[in-house]
Amino acid sequence: MVKISILPVGFLCLVLPDKPQLVVKVARYGGKGVQMGERFIPTDENGQLLINYLGPQRTFQTVSITDILDGKIPKGTFKDRIVLVGATAMGTHDLMSTPFSVFYPGVEIHATVIENILAQNFLSKPRWSTIYDLFAIIILGISRDRPSSFERCQRILFAGGLFALHIMVAQHLFASYGVWLNIVYPLAVVAFTYTALTLYHYITRSGRGGR
């Protein structure tokens, strides 16, 4: 998640034929998004945007400035296209960490944001997703604390099945509807609960054995 950069948004306002105006939409809980003409850019309450990355580095057409100066690029290559000028070399320090690469050029991030805005191809994290995340954390957390009649392998299979179901639901919502749900926190809760219960049983059994 990143803050909406004024560069791609302001740049689009200048290059689009209708020269759209920017209007910030605010709700009771905070920021809601930015209205850019007929296009709407959804954000969270802090004015941040989930970027829908399209692929690894060089997903967008990249042309070397050297090839342009040497006349190797055919005329009309940039006609009626949005062109961003930026550095992609490792030593330029304009590299960011993304889901596809830890060294992703900043200019391609701007290009991705522009594509998301023009195509209205956004990821979203609706308000109900927070409630769902809390529900998943609670259910997965208490799933480890089953009655003693459950054997250890049954407990592990039960918790693992619930977590696998959570991952499948999250993956389906992400792939089909662009909805982002939290997976790390529920997994961390399962791991923490399992570790805490294991230590508790070990300590209690050691205490009983020492008596």
Q: H or E stretch including 153? A: helix 152-177
Same-domain status, 113 and 140: no
Instruction: Quickly tell me which residue has 């342009």 as its tokens.
Output: 68
What is the separation, in whole angstroms, between the first and last Cα of the chain?
A: 54
CA distance 67 to 126: 45
Q: Sort 35 into a burial class: Cβ within 10 Å, 0-12 / 13-18 / 19+.
A: middle
Same-domain status, 115 and 155: no
Same-domain status, 9 and 101: yes
Same-domain status, 110 and 159: no
Same-domain status, 16 and 76: yes
Domain C-terminal end among 119, 143, 168:
119
CA distance 83 to 35: 23
Same-domain status, 85 and 140: no
Same-domain status, 142 and 114: no
Domain that holds residue 97: 2-119
* Residue 147 confidence (pLDDT): 46
* Residue 144 confidence (pLDDT): 54
Residues of the chain with pLDDT under 70: 1-15, 17, 140-153, 155-156, 206-211
Same-domain status, 45 and 97: yes
Sign for the pseudo-dihedral over CA of 89, 90, 91, 93: positive
* Residue 84 confidence (pLDDT): 87
* Residue 91 confidence (pLDDT): 75
* Residue 9 confidence (pLDDT): 64
* Residue 2 confidence (pLDDT): 47
Same-domain status, 63 and 101: yes
* Cβ-contact 53, 99 below 8 angstroms: yes
Q: Is the pTM of this model over 0.75?
A: no
Same-domain status, 46 and 73: yes
* Residue 13 confidence (pLDDT): 67
Number of compact structural domains in the chain = 2
Same-domain status, 85 and 189: no
Same-domain status, 134 and 86: no
Domain C-terminal end among 99, 119, 139:
119
Domain C-terminal end among 70, 100, 119:
119
CA distance 141 to 100: 31
* Residue 22 confidence (pLDDT): 78
* Residue 141 confidence (pLDDT): 66
Q: Which of helix, strand or coil describes residue 192?
A: helix
